[in-house]
Amino acid sequence: MTSSFFALAFTVVLLVTTAYFIMGGLPLLVLQHDTPVDGRFISRFFEVYYKAALIAAVGGCVSYAWWGRLAFAGGAAVIGMVVVALRRVLIPTMDRLGARIQDSDPAAIQAFRKVHSAALLVNLVQLVLLVWGLTRLTL
């Protein structure tokens, strides 16, 4: 019973975290992204999300494995690996583009907006797949 409680709790945390950051990140697209402050804020926003999602994914993976639900444990492990990969690519890219924004480089501003949009799109796909997996696989 304890393992199932932890597994479901980590799943809810992952769902809520992902949905919250999608809803919080969409309004940030309204920003002009033309100041370094915008870039730093958005970069840190995603860094917080990636840390929270990684903790929830690892906790879910361990608790699902402990419960004996290996398909769910594998899904949580994949989410964790995707989060680590995205964090390693997107955060440095956002930081690098943010530094170029300081020089008022229009190409950097446009590239930063694309990276921000892509990160939100990946989060949305992750949320859809997570919900789909929960509805299709039986506990």
Check which CATH number belongs to the domain holding 59 and give it. 1.20.120
pLDDT at 8 over 70: yes
pLDDT of residue 139: 60
pLDDT of residue 133: 84
| Local confidence band at 136 (pLDDT 50, 70, 90 cut-offs) | confident
User: pTM for this structure?
Assistant: 0.87
Question: Smallest Cα–Cα separation from 58: which of 44, 77, 72?
Answer: 77
pLDDT at 31 over 80: no
d(CA 62, CA 57): 9
Total domains in the chain come to 1
| Local confidence band at 97 (pLDDT 50, 70, 90 cut-offs) | confident
Beta carbons within 10 angstroms of residue 133's beta carbon: 16
Domain that residue 49 falls in: 2-136
pLDDT of residue 14: 94
Listed in order, strand segments (DSSP E) in the chain are none
Residue type for 2, please? T
Q: What would the pLDDT profile of 46-69 be if each residue is shown by its tens digit?
A: 999 999 999 999 999 999 999 999
Q: What is the mean pLDDT of residues 73-98?
A: 93
| Local confidence band at 1 (pLDDT 50, 70, 90 cut-offs) | low
Hey, is 97 helix, strand or coil? helix
More confident residue, 62 or 99: 62
